[in-house]
Structure 1
Amino acid sequence: MRGRMVSANHAEGERYYLRLLLLHISGPMCFEDLYIVNNVQHPTFRKATLERGLIESDDGLSQCLTEASLFQAPIALRRMFATILTFCEPGDVRKLWDDHYNALSEDYRRQYGSIERVQNMVLTDINIFLQSMSDNIDCFDHPKINENVDLESGVFREFAYDEIMWHVHSNIPGVFFIDGPGGTGNFFLYKALLANIRSCGHIELATASSGVALITFLGEEQTHSRFKLPINLENNSVCKISRQSGIAQLLRTAKVIICDEVSMAKRHALEAVD
């Protein structure tokens, strides 16, 4: 009769563990029989499944996060946490969240005093990473995101967005340098700008001067490649782009050019692009 048992996903919690127990325990007379292991009655199906050795504990996952918190930034920990949720199938997500929340929220707690706002921002970051893996935070046992709490990571982000979009829609050229530490919304600002530009049917170019930034920001192209910069930059270096080429026309048409991690680039590269 096993073939007629309804399948259950790991994310369904107790329903999944109940099915797992039914597949491995013969002759249970009632649900209480499934809770009992070695004459000890456990409060949940998961606990009974764990005691029977049918699943592994989350100790290894918890230790992994603890070790990473010693040298990784909180944003990297949130990405790791989302990866664990999607690919490692932890049994007790809420306990994993409670045990490592301080490390996951360290950067936001330093900047903001509102407990709800900090939690919302951490959950929002994790949800963004989960969505990039075709998953969603609502599938896991987490505190819920409070839609009534402001999710903005900084006032500068809203100001920069409004100022840049005003220049774009007014066809007035301008150069903006956005300097914000990790966790203050630089990535969110870039995404919002690019999405708005594309929705208006305009062309945008997103580049990055470092390989690390390329990994973080999907869709970017390395600055050297986009602007045809020489490998060995000197005072009189120029971009190898002819006036009538397709790249030159693309640069003329683009409404916005974003160069991420521009402070990591050499002065000669910026002068050549200018």
Structure 2
Amino acid sequence: MLIVLLLKQGHKMTSAEFYDKFVCPELPDQNENPHLYTAVVKHMIHGPCGKLNPTNACMNKDGKCKNNYPKSFCFATVHGKKPYPVYRRRDNGKQVKVRGQILDNRWVVPYNPYLLAKFDCHINVEICSTVEAVKYLYKYIYKGHDRVAFHVYSNETKNEIDEIEQYQSGRWVSPPEAMWRIYKFALHEIYPSVQSLQLHLEGKQLVTFRNTDNLNVIVENDSSKETMLTQYFYMNKMKKNPKNLLYKQFPKEFVWNSQSKTWNKRGTKKTKKVIGRVVTANPIEGERYYLRILLNHIGTSTSFDDLKTLNNKKANTFHEAALMHGLLHSDNSLDLCLQEATMYRMPCSLRRLF
């Protein structure tokens, strides 16, 4: 079972000094706390593996431990390159014999002394110190339920096997999950709310319709031409954006009504925080990609043509307009695109983007 605890503001652990108060990967003093020492030796010692036991279950094809044990000695806890910090593992001479081998602090799995002493079972406690760890944990938790292929059969032999009849689909529900669902507690929550903002070139917005609808009527209908982006231009044209908010900042002050296709001013009463995210565009898309760059830096445009205009000089393409505004002079737009994608995309989609 995996449990993720999110601490409130003011209680978050932001430095290595706090890490050492809650997570420990070292052998405790046997004389001062014999109960905790026994629990660590019984539940929190990894392996041994590697040269000490090449056939251990954690060994991969390369002959290395997939959990990277034994760890290296470290005098103080520091932030590492990986999602989790490098915990303090001092070479203080403490050793213990486990499964026929003499092991030291390098083999101790990180634990919380209070939880381990209270429940006396294997409880691995880690601190997520980077956004990559948070992304991994959330995608791991919500990847779906674990499944297994199985079939039920009798001792009677059958000449014919009916795979459809034998197929079974089910999953095991643990008592904590059952209780959580019975009391209708929320399984997940997104805060703050994220508003996806449409991105399209002029006249190339998505339009939904039924098979029975008349396409000529849909094309001529003005509402089909109104989108989040075109109405954002309209708000700028009507001087209803006095703060010159960027397209991605617009949801902070305005609410999109999908029925009337209009941006409405948020009420004066305290409302929940909303942030906007312009949908991504791949650099190989050309003009759509450069349109996104312009929208992320210019907040006063009233139309697609206005985005292309600077000092009364109109560019022919969004790419030329981005050059005129100096948004491509650094020549790192591709690096920024990949950097933004690493915050939320999975490896397979990152490879396609690259």
Over alpha carbons, which structure has the higher Rg? 2
Q: Give me the TM-score of the superposition, normalised by structure 2.
A: 0.23
- Normalized per residue, the structure richer in helix is 1
Q: Give me the TM-score of the superposition, normalised by structure 1.
A: 0.28
